[in-house]
Amino acid sequence: MVGEYPIFSVLRVIIHSFDLFPLFHFKKVDYSKTNRNIAGDKDFASGDAPYLVPNPADTYVKIEGIESTNITEVFLIDITGKKLKEIYNKNILDINDIPSGTYFVRVMNKSQKAYYLKLIKK
């Protein structure tokens, strides 16, 4: 191909020669499920299934799907793992002062179970 780096041609030959193509198959992402927690669907049966509203958000997010009285701490974590904000015993997180991007929200309940939610800041 015109303008292609030689390494890509070599990799393509290796992948097809050794039938490695199934290893490089990427699954299509269903963005309708991005509000669900990363722990999985099994948590929906237990009663606590926190999710963020709105998501994507501009100024704040509300944690729903879990009783606000059951929330002990909420951490806002950037993509590198750095804790940016923390709140206690509340279900509303102010994100007005953080830049646009992708973040994680860690929600801890009274039984010390942690839920990690994906947050997109507009």
What's the pLDDT tens digit per position in 7-17?
656 556 555 55
pTM recorded for the entire structure: 0.63
Q: How many Å apart are CA 120 and CA 59, to the nearest integer?
A: 11
Q: Is the pLDDT of residue 105 over 90?
A: yes
Q: What is the dihedral of CA 97, 50, 27, 25, to 10 degrees?
A: 80
- Map out the domains of the chain as residue ranges: 6-121
For the 6-121 domain, the top CATH level (class) is mainly beta
Q: Phi and psi at residue 56, in whole multiples of 5°?
A: -65, 155
Report percent pLDDT > 70 for the chain. Answer: 61
Q: What pLDDT is attached to residue 8?
A: 58
Look at 16 and 75; give whichever has higher pLDDT: 75
CB atoms within 10 A of CB 55: 17
Cβ-proximal residues to 84 (8 Å cutoff; 6+ apart), any chain = 76, 77, 78, 98, 103
